[in-house]
Amino acid sequence: MAGHGEKFGRKQEEAIAALLSQRNIEEAAKVTGVGVRTLLRWMKLPEFSKQYRKARYDVVQQSVARMQQATSYASSVALKIMADPNAPAAVRLRASEFVFDRAIKGIELEDIEVRLSELERGAEASRKK
């Protein structure tokens, strides 16, 4: 029976991969080689649900990291549009608003980080007393 358990775990991993890459549950079940009802049953299992959520989270985190890598290019594009005298005034204005908006959000995030660090230090100091 040990072999069967290992195969079952592998199938569940395949099902999670299929759920992430296929358009719907029916296609994911077909690609995995299990019935739709089986896949739906697995999706109700706490451990399967936990692994599926983790896999979805990991995929999103990887996508966010890719977007973060592109921020330098994106900011260059916004600045070029803003400074392009041949771009329509409305487009330049929107690019300017975009640059200001992101700059202000950056300052707000830095402020929140500083305030949070101070609160954490205060809480840690209170615990030590």
Q: Is the pTM of this model over 0.75?
A: no
Give the pair of three-digit tokens for residue 99: 């640059």
Cα separation, 93 vs 117, whole angstroms:
36
Residue 16 CB neighbour total at 10 angstroms: 21
Question: Please, are residues 43 and 52 in contact by the beta-carbon 8 Å criterion?
Answer: yes
Tell me the three-class secondary structure of 50-101, residue by residue.
HHHHHHHHHHHHHHHHHHHHCHHHHHHHHHHHHHCCCCCHHHHHHHHHHHHH
Per-residue pLDDT of the chain (129 residues; tens, 9 = 90+): 344 444 558 999 999 999 999 999 999 999 999 999 999 999 999 999 999 999 999 999 999 899 889 989 999 999 999 999 999 999 999 999 999 998 999 999 999 999 999 999 999 999 987
